[in-house]
Amino acid sequence: MLRQSLLSLGLPILTAAHFTVSYPPSRGFSEDGISSFPCGGFNTPTAERTEFPLTGGPIQMDNTHTSSNLQVLLALGNNPGDAFNTVVVPTFMEQGPNEFCFGNVSVSGIEGLNITAGTNGTFQVIAGGDEGGLYACVDVTFVNDPLSQDGYAQNCVNATGVSVEYMADMGNANGTEHEEGGHDHDESSSGAMPSATSEGLAAQMTMMAGWAVGGMALAGGLAAL
């Protein structure tokens, strides 16, 4: 079932390359386990969660692929297992290896969820390429306070030449069913991202294009959003 879901998203099962998430700190990395859902084989939340702004913060990754389909999912709770039912960042294509930052990822306006300061959650980043899907999870506690401009700049860096490309809404790469508070492929949205309609994703990709100019100037610009 999961393999079929990944294939339908253009995310067949990966074998040769990898990516890592450095901010917020990931649960861990295993070359052998990274293709395992959920969380690249790291099924236990970290003891120390990272505070993550409700109004938006960065997710920083380092990608060895020259081209990847990327998506960010969310699960709420202290230990949500594999219940990644909410699409926070719908699928898009990122091109260019090395550093890539998901800028201003926000949960403050996600329909159907009551996320407030003190809520625990886990973001799952999914990366897919020519040979498959890879997974990494970061455990957070949502807070009201935004990151400082310096804090944002230090944790949101893009390699030179990185670009992003619009893709039609592909739903949830995890393949789970819609549940209360989650989003199926017609309902995925967030406070920072438009809803996953054709017009919404086109607007989202216009925003994402601003992520891909590289370096500290990018991070500083996003910090002002």
- Tens of pLDDT along 204-218? 333 333 333 332 222
- Tens of pLDDT along 36-59? 999 999 999 999 999 999 999 999
> Nearest Cα to 49, choosing from 72, 19, 26, 68?
26
Query: Judging by beta carbons within 10 Å of its beta carbon (0-12, 13-18, 19+), is residue 148 exposed, middle or buried?
Result: exposed
- Tens of pLDDT along 75-90? 999 999 999 999 999 9
| 3-class DSSP state of 189 | coil
- Per mean pLDDT, which range of 26-30, 45-49, 190-194 is the poorest? 190-194
Band the pLDDT of 197: cuts 50, 70, 90.
very low
pTM of the model: 0.70
Domains of the chain: 2-220 (2.60.40.10)
Q: Please give the pLDDT value at position 198.
A: 31
Q: 115 — phi, psi (to 5°)?
A: -95, 120
190-212 exposure pattern, b = at least 16 Cβ within 10 A, e = fewer: bbbbbbbeeebbeebbebbeebb
50-53 and 19-23 strand pairing: unpaired
Q: Please give the pLDDT value at position 168.
A: 61
